[in-house]
Amino acid sequence: MAAIALSLAAGFIASTSDIRLFVLAFGLLGVLIVFLNPSFAITAVAVAALVIVGSLQLYFPGFQMVSWAVAGMAFVMGMYVLVEKALSLEKTRGPVSSIFFFSLMLIAICIISSILNNNSLDVVAFGLKGYFQVMGLFFAISLMRWDGAKLDRLPVALIAVGVVQLPFVLHQYLVLVPARANLGGGIVAEDIVSGTLGGSMFGGGSNAVLSLLLITTISLLAGLYKNHRLKLLPTLLMLSVCAVPLLLNSNRAALFYLPLAYLIIFFDDAIRRPLRVITTGIAMCLLVAALIWANATLGSRSDEFDNWQDLLSVTIERNSDSNYGWGDYEMNRMTVMSHWASEHAKRAEIPEMIYGHGPGASREASGRNLAAIGGSGHVNTLARTKYPSVGIGLTGVSSILWEIGILGLAVVVGLFWSAVRASTYLIQRFDDYSYRKGVVEGFRAAVIILGISLFFKNAFVFHLPFQALLFTILGILAYWQRRELAVEKATV
């Protein structure tokens, strides 16, 4: 009977061709899964956010409102776990993860900033959705009463998501990049090489977020190999599968991310296992050399680089010289910071320097998804009304400063720093549990890289797949930290 009912419902939705009904049905099915199997639902939402949402945005743009269903499922999961914990018989107060504390602080400063700026309802909704669309995933992972074996599968799912990027990237590089080569309008053809992380055929792509996902996957593989949970041959095989998308997507930040991740993971082996450091270091240097060659020679950009020195000097110049703007924006990644300071000093907007102009203020997006559910489709943010085409939200740091101010930036720094501290603590606690130690070592490198990426990209304030990756990692670290603190307290 259930199968017949589902078939009839699916047939009705297909006949109406109404995307809102599809999203509603998808969300209701997700809610049902949450109550029947919460641990599976958490994994499914994390994978859906990293694979389905971006793929639909690129290949089936009419269905990109599915992101609302994924966000809704994340919210339901978070509420389910919070309510279950509140109604549980455990009345004793256990230790609280520092990551959890800073997450609550981030929510608080975003709400306070919106109230103090008296922003319109559509701007508030636009901004808060941007920050917290999958925050429920973090609460669900960090607070749920996990079976340890089931939680251990979640990092494996992240590795699988990284590995599965290869066929998508090959199709995008071999088919979509040539089709975009002569579009003009400042469009960089290779930006569409974003795997399952999203993009637009006639706009930009999330190739930078793809690089971050692949660096996370590589870090996990390196951590597991270092702790003898992976043999050399399967490690090299999976690393090769992850390396190809890095070579093809032309994201130059990977040239910095990759050696940094290596140093974070293998630094403490320099004295104890020098041979391993040398061999892994050679492999890393070969990959970085391949990345430099790919960036200098494989791209269809208008730039023509004779050697890697030209590539490096042009990249630095265009990110720091005030004569260059990024893409169609007036600002680049360096000048956008000085512009924030000079604008607030010139207008004596000291309170706004402290708590910002409210979430969403730095974004110039049109709010298409809001329009699909009855909104105007044009959210009048500060960036659209006062600073059009300036690029005040070009990077994560500049977006945070404009939206939630110095106080908000301090909270975000605290969030990342608490995750690094938690991972360092867990590495010591898991000294006899090689799998979890390897995972946490990989996560520590990933968290540092994701934090540094705020100086390059603004994905932190709006990009659902980026946030799903970040909050999944933070949720796992927060859960393990809370659990280990409780065990440590009980044994004292």
Q: What is the pLDDT of residues 318-364, one digit of tens each?
A: 555 555 556 677 778 888 988 899 988 887 788 999 999 999 999 98
Cβ-based neighbour number of residue 226 at 10 Å: 23
How far apart, in Å, are the Cα atoms of 105 and each of 98, 101, 387, 475?
11, 6, 28, 16
Q: What was the pLDDT predicted at 69? A: 82
Q: Is residue 330 part of a domain?
A: no
Q: In b/e form, how buried is each residue of 446-466, taking b as 16+ CB within 10 angstroms?
A: bbbbbbbbbebbbbbbbbbbb
> Is there a contact between 215 and 456 (Cβ–Cβ < 8 Å)?
no
Tokens for 79? 């509420």
Residue 329 lies in a domain: no
End-to-end CA distance of the chain: give it in Å, rounded: 56
Contact residues for 150 (Cβ-Cβ < 8 A; gap 6+): 39
* Residue at 298: amino acid letter: L
- The tally of domains found in the chain comes to 1
Q: Given this model, what pLDDT does residue 469 score?
A: 97
CA distances from 291 to 70, 209, 236, 318, 438 (A): 34, 17, 17, 19, 26
In a domain, 192, yes or no: yes
> Which residues does the chain have with pLDDT short of 70?
1-36, 89-93, 184-186, 296, 298-327, 365-377, 492
Q: What is the pLDDT, as a whole number, of residue 15?
A: 47
Cα atoms found within 13 Å of the Cα of residue 215, Cβ hemisphere only: 34
CA dihedral (184, 187, 191, 197) in degrees, to 10, reads -120
> CA 488 to CA 492: how far, in whole Å?
6
Contact between 370 and 126 (Cβ < 8 Å): yes
* Cα 302 to Cα 319: distance, rounded to the nearest angstrom: 17
Q: Supply the pLDDT for residue 321.
A: 55
SS3 (DSSP) at 205: strand
pLDDT for the residue 127: 93
Do the beta carbons of residue 430 and residue 437 sit within 8 Å?
yes
Task: Determine, yes or no, domain membership for 377.
Answer: no
pLDDT of residue 159: 96
CB 109 within 8 A of CB 24: no
Per-residue pLDDT tens over the stretch 15-41: 444 455 555 555 555 555 555 577 888
Whole-number pLDDT of residue 289: 82
The whole domain housing 481 covers: 99-322+393-491
Q: Is residue 44 part of a domain?
A: no
Is 54 inside any structural domain? no
